[in-house]
Amino acid sequence: MRPAAGCTNSMSDLEPHLHTPILEDPAITRLMLRDSCGSRGTDLLRRAGAVATSLSVVLDEGGEGASALLASLAGWRPEHVRVELLVMGREGDPGRSVLREQLDGGGRPWRPVARPLGGRAASLAAAASAAEHEFVLFGARGCPAFGLVEPALSWMWAEGADVALIAGGTTDGPLDPADGSDPSQTVARWLGLSGTVPDGRSVLMRRWVARWLFNEITRAISPAEEVADRARLLGIGIVQLTSHPSDTPLRH
């Protein structure tokens, strides 16, 4: 049928002019660099009341390492966080009786967790399964920065993050600039799945996230790659505390 006289519309005129949609994958891993000294990193806990949340600290080291960790814990009494210790070990571990005496004298609730066979991955899975508190702190060695746990919790709530990377000492930016290309690999590395846990570095995560990441992890050919893949699939938000904040998340 021919158009009526005076009608000059073409098919292109009848089609709506739409802007090209910008689609963003909701399951995307975000690495957010945040200031450990910023007021926003502490205000949420202070406003939450006497006890805002609870934390299970995993002690997966014996001997002098365990003693150093307990000494660091002795001076850390968070006002708004209820803390328990999960002590990984086996019956034949050297210094077990001395460690128990230190724990009993420390005035903190603690529970023993049998360290299973299967290396670091198995220990992480066992600790996540045993944890009863809302958050779990893994990988503390050397001189853990326990004083940064409360700012990390506040930033996690403020940003809707699931994981926080915490390191002792000062830093002028990302602790591992080379890791910025893949935050999920960074988490696996800091958890000790790619070697020894770096001294002074800890990984704080929500308990449900820890259980999801480590569920049956010992069946994986490469636990480090499996945890990184699961973190990408889950699309977790990761806060890394730095001395120089960045308000722009790095997305991967």
3-state secondary structure of 58: strand
Q: Which domain holds residue 53?
A: 26-251
pLDDT at res. 172: 40
Splitting the chain (252 residues) into consecutive groups of 10 residues, what average pLDDT does each group show?
A: 51 46 54 69 60 86 74 82 89 77 85 90 95 89 77 89 82 46 87 80 94 96 95 91 53 52
What pLDDT, on the 0 to 100 scale, is given for residue 167? Answer: 83
What does pTM read for this prediction?
Answer: 0.78
pLDDT at residue 21, rounded to an integer: 46
Instruction: Please give the pLDDT value at position 238.
Output: 93
Identify the CATH number of the domain in which residue 246 sits. Answer: 3.90.550
pLDDT for 86 equals: 93
Tell whether 58 is covered by a domain: yes
Structural domain total, the chain:
1
**Residue 13 covered by a domain:** no
Q: Give the whole-angstrom CA distance, residue 245 versus residue 70.
A: 30
First to last CA, the chain: 53
**Residue 17: inside a domain:** no
At 85 the pLDDT is: 92
Q: What is the pLDDT of residue 44?
A: 63
